[in-house]
Amino acid sequence: MTLSKRVIPCLDVAGGRVVKGVNFQNLVDAGDPVELAKIYGDAGADELTFLDISASVEDRSTTLEMVSRTAEQVFIPLTVGGGIREVADVDRLLRAGADKVGVNTAAIARPELINEIADRFGNQVLVLSVDARRGSTVSGFEVTTHGGRTGTGIDAFTWIEEASARGIGEILLNSMDADGTRAGYDTEMIRQVREITHVPLIASGGAGKLADFSAALAAGADALLAASVFHFQTFTIGEVKADLARHGYSVRLE
């Protein structure tokens, strides 16, 4: 059986509002997260990703109340990331209505967190967020933290291999070079990551035209995450799925 390719709108939230910028800079207000979540759920999104992009920077946990209100509005899987530092944070988010959690900064600081979450809840709830940019590491890609603001010097591919071995369920691979540019997904990075891990791969960063989505799948992605093209109505989730179907990909159509 062929698994359907998933289309996932991303809600980057700061100060209680959905925002979008270029490379996480010059953020523009894109609406209310709970309202947008309901719109996307009704429009045929396969999943939703809710990223509290200022939680790690401000050293606080994700807003549980907003997660809970969002979960009440949508009946598709909800992934929540931002500010998750320990197993107790995951427990609270799952109780608030999240189906999966995304970890990034805290897992890099203490990789054992991956094992602890996977052992307690199962690896199906754990998404590793990798904000990677081109850099002078062995693979040519470096991991960044704090919403792409901070370089780590860590090789992105080495980190992905370690995290895969520790028990992640999915990888959200976000190209910091392409993020918000609408110049297309980083298909070179997707292709190379696909070669080093069998963990399902969500492509993120750079979607700007319909052809970008099928190009990311052809490079090895299993799912497609996008933000500004949906928030600012460049095209609909239905239009993306129809184009993927035309390219021969299995998608869940309404």
Among this protein's residues, is 155 annotated catalytic? Answer: no
Q: What CA–CA distance (Å, rounded) separates 128 from 138? A: 21
Closest CA to 222 of 237, 244, 253: 244
- Roughly how many angstroms between the first and final C-alpha of the chain, as a whole number? 19
- The catalytically annotated residue of 46, 52, 131, 177 is 131
Closest CA to 105 of 139, 136, 82, 137: 82
Q: What CA–CA distance (Å, rounded) separates 233 from 214? A: 19
Is the separation of the CB atoms in 178 and 148 below 8 Å? Answer: no
Dihedral, CA of residue 146, residue 152, residue 25 and residue 210, to nearest 10: -100
- The catalytically annotated residue of 12, 46, 89, 155 is 12
Among this protein's residues, is 12 annotated catalytic? Answer: yes
Is the separation of the CB atoms in 217 and 224 below 8 Å? Answer: yes
Could you list the active site residues? Answer: 12, 131
